[in-house]
């Protein structure tokens, strides 16, 4: 393991974090929330000190990196970044318990949006901003940001590919253009543009700038931290519809937007994953609308509420405009299934990813056919191109790891003695980076009731879900920490 190099990466990530903390502090300064300003100053000092220490300690590292280091590095970066990122919450007294503050920021960076706060409106503005901004940074990934702004580790090294693969979700991560820095820049540029457009649309409603920006951050990262206690429910139907549309847009693979810019419309519209994603969303909306006949006053309201909830869940955002915990069982079952499926690979959304569902179903179909025709040679195809056996193998391994970790986490948090629905939905919602679950962790409730131990388990789940398991799993392997 090239520990020095990893230390340098962590140091640089902390510098990025420090830079992004400054706007939050300025907002607090503007709003004259001096406790928060002081908290931000202390946090900044801590982050800078840690970054300086790491960068100093890890001078003169070898500039080489392999797959294992890449995975472990991403895992460590996220954990350290969260440990220091929660300091403003803790120092300002907004969240008095450290583990709660940690839970909150991990929930932010992993774009989960599960909160332990029963009410948020009384929080200082700067803290609220930092909370929402963590979604935005975590959505596209902080290492990708680092890759975009600086050519880490020399201009001609390819090892940054390991970092992109580890941080970007999806079974088959590739570059858009030959240079990593340019690829990362394009991704972030698309991300910024979409976010700005979202803010503009929200401003056209009756939102003020602060609300619009925070809501857009939550939407862009598919996070779900609201700035009001009732999430988006208190806003006008126009705002709700804008959110629905943009959540759906941020759940789409960003490669599609790049292809649209290149005018390759055919490739985008024929993309099987995109079709599956949109089809699932539409199908679920129709089914739930039928199931909810007469629940809301008008058909318009029903469709609006259902569309918002369905999109919020499938993209793993977790905003809410209504308490879907009160919906009938069939509707809830659909939502629970959507939690697992998640958004597209290469988007900011979480979950198992539509692309993987596609691969798993197709390779399952192949295995079934193999039983009937043992001699048949079959290739799994997506978008007309054959998928490599290695990708299929990885996808199946991912499925296995996914199921095992969810079951284990469920067993561990069951110690707290809540109902099965609460526990299962809590694990699923955290692991898939969604936000609300059902019953005690439903849209109107929060995670404060869980014990410290369960919160740690859920924190690891959120990280594992966002980074797609392996970067976190490798940290638990003993060989990772041995000197080679």
Q: CB pairs under 8 A, 24+ apart, for 228-232?
A: 228/120, 228/121, 229/119, 229/120, 229/121, 231/319, 231/320, 231/321, 231/443, 232/308, 232/319, 232/320, 232/321
φ, ψ of residue 70 to 5 degrees: the values are: -60, -50
Which residues have C-beta within 8 Å of that of residue 92, sequence separation ≥ 6? Answer: 35, 36, 38, 39, 40, 124, 127
The verdict on 177 binding other proteins (CB under 8 A) reads yes
Span from 124-132, 175-183, 214-222, 412-420 in contact with other proteins (CB under 8 A): 175-183
Which are the contacts of 344, defined by CB distance < 8 A and separation ≥ 6? 170, 251, 252, 253, 256, 273, 274, 277, 353, 354, 355
Min. distance of Cβ 66 from other proteins in angstroms?
8
* Contacts to other proteins from residues 119-158, by CB under 8 A: 155-158
Nearer of residues 262 and 364 to other proteins, judged by Cβ: 262
At CA 427, angle to CA 421 and CA 428, rounded to 5?
A: 85
DSSP 388: P
Least Cβ distance, residue 158 to other proteins (angstroms) = 4
Q: If binding is defined by CB under 8 A, does position 96 make contact with other proteins?
A: no
Shortest Cβ distance from residue 264 to other proteins (Å)? 10
Report the residue from 79, 117, 180, 214 that binds other proteins according to the rule CB under 8 A: 180
Nearer to other proteins, 52 or 388 (CB): 388
Which of 178, 294, 329, 417 forms a contact with other proteins (CB under 8 A)? 178
Subset of residues 15 to 74 that bind other proteins, contact rule: CB under 8 A: 66-67
Of 53 and 66, the one with the shorter C-beta distance to other proteins is 66
**Residue at token pair 């970044």:** 81
Contact status: 162 vs other proteins (CB under 8 A): yes
Q: Rounded to the nearest whole angstrom, what is the least distance from the CB of residue 188 to other proteins in the complex?
A: 17
Least distance to other proteins, CB of residue 179, Å: 6
- Residues binding other proteins: what is the number (CB under 8 A)? 19
* In the block, residue with structure tokens 């069982």: 329
- What are 271-276's contacts with CB under 8 Å, separation 24+? 271/383, 272/358, 272/382, 272/383, 273/344, 273/345, 273/354, 273/355, 273/358, 273/382, 274/344, 276/354, 276/357, 276/358
Min. distance of Cβ 335 from other proteins in angstroms?
39
Calpha distance 386→459 (Å, rounded): 37
Which two tokens mark 383? Answer: 């978008």
Determine contact, residues 24/87, Cβ cutoff 8 Å.
no
| Subset of residues 181 to 210 that bind other proteins, contact rule: CB under 8 A | 181-182
Q: In this complex, which beta carbon is closest to other proteins, that of residue 64 or of residue 236?
A: 64
- 83 or 391: whose CB is closer to other proteins? 391
Pick the binder of other proteins from 2, 160, 255, 429 (CB under 8 A).
160
The region of 23-31, 171-179, 225-233, 404-412 touching other proteins under the rule CB under 8 A is 171-179
Closest distance of CB 301 from other proteins, Å:
47
Binding mask of the shown chain, residues 369 to 398, with x at each position contacting other proteins by CB under 8 A: -------------------x----------
Q: How far is the CB of 388 from other proteins (least distance, A)?
A: 6
User: Which residue lies nearer to other proteins by CB, 4 or 181?
Assistant: 181
161 lies in the binding site for other proteins (CB under 8 A): yes
Name the residue nearer to other proteins (CB basis): 213 or 268.
Answer: 268
Chain centroid offset of residue 382 CA: 25
Which of 93, 118, 174, 234 is the binder for other proteins (CB under 8 A)?
A: 174
According to CB under 8 A, which one of 179, 228, 230, 237 is a site residue for other proteins?
179
Write out the two tokens for 348: 């900011």
| Residue indicated by tokens 């809501």 | 215
Pick the piece of the chain touching other proteins (CB under 8 A) from 77-85, 170-178, 337-345, 439-447.
170-178
Three-state SS string over 21-66 comes to HHHHHHHHHHCCCHHHHHHHHHHHHHHHHHHHHHHHHCCCCCCCCC
With binding defined as CB under 8 A, does residue 255 bind other proteins?
no
Which stretches of the chain bind other proteins, using CB under 8 A? 66-67, 155-162, 174-175, 177-182, 388
């Amino acid at each position: 393991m090239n520990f020095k190099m990893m230390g340098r990466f962590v140091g640089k990530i902390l510098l990025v974090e420090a830079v992004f903390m400054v706007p939050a502090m300025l907002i607090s300064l503007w709003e004259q929330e001096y406790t928060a300003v002081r908290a931000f100053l202390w946090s900044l000092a801590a982050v800078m000190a840690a970054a300086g220490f790491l960068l100093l300690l890890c001078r003169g590292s070898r500039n080489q990196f392999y797959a294992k280091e890449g995975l472990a590095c991403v895992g460590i970066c996220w954990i350290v970044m969260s440990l220091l990122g929660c300091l403003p919450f803790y120092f300002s007294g907004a969240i008095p318990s450290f583990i709660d503050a940690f839970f909150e920021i991990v929930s932010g960076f992993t774009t989960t949006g599960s909160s332990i706060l029963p009410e948020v409106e009384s929080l200082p503005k700067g803290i609220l901003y930092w909370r929402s901004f963590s979604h935005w940074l975590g959505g596209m990934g902080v290492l990708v940001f680092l890759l975009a702004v600086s050519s880490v580790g020399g201009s001609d090294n390819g090892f940054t590919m390991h970092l992109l693969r580890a941080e970007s979700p999806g079974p088959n991560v590739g570059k858009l253009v030959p240079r990593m820095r340019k690829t990362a820049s394009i991704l972030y540029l698309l991300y910024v543009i979409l976010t700005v457009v979202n803010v503009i649309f929200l401003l056209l409603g009756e939102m003020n700038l602060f609300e619009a920006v925070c809501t857009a951050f939550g939407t862009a990262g598919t996070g779900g931290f609201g700035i009001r206690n009732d999430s988006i429910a208190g806003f006008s139907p126009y705002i709700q519809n804008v959110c629905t549309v943009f959540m759906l847009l941020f759940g789409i693979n960003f490669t599609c937007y790049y292809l649209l810019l290149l005018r390759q419309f055919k490739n985008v519209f024929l993309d099987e994953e995109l079709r599956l994603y949109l089809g699932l969303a539409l199908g679920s909306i129709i089914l739930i609308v039928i199931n909810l006949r007469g629940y809301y006053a008008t058909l318009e309201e029903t469709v609006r509420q259902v569309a918002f909830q369905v999109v919020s869940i499938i993209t793993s955002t977790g905003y809410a405009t209504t308490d879907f915990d009160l919906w009938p069982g069939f509707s809830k079952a659909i939502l629970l299934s959507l939690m697992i499926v998640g958004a597209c690979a290469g988007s900011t959304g979480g979950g198992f990813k539509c692309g993987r569902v596609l691969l798993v179903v197709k390779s399952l179909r192949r295995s079934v056919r193999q039983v009937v025709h043992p001699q048949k040679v079959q290739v799994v195809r997506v978008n007309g191109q054959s998928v490599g056996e290695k990708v299929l193998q990885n996808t199946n391994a991912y499925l296995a790891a996914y199921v095992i970790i969810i079951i284990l986490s469920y067993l561990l948090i069951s110690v707290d003695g809540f109902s099965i629905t609460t526990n299962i939905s809590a694990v699923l919602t955290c692991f898939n980076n969604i936000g609300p679950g059902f019953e005690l962790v439903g849209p109107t409730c929060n995670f404060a009731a869980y014990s410290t131990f369960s919160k740690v388990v859920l924190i690891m789940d959120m990280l594992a879900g966002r980074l797609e398991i392996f970067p976190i799993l490798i940290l638990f392997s003993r060989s990772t920490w041995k000197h080679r």
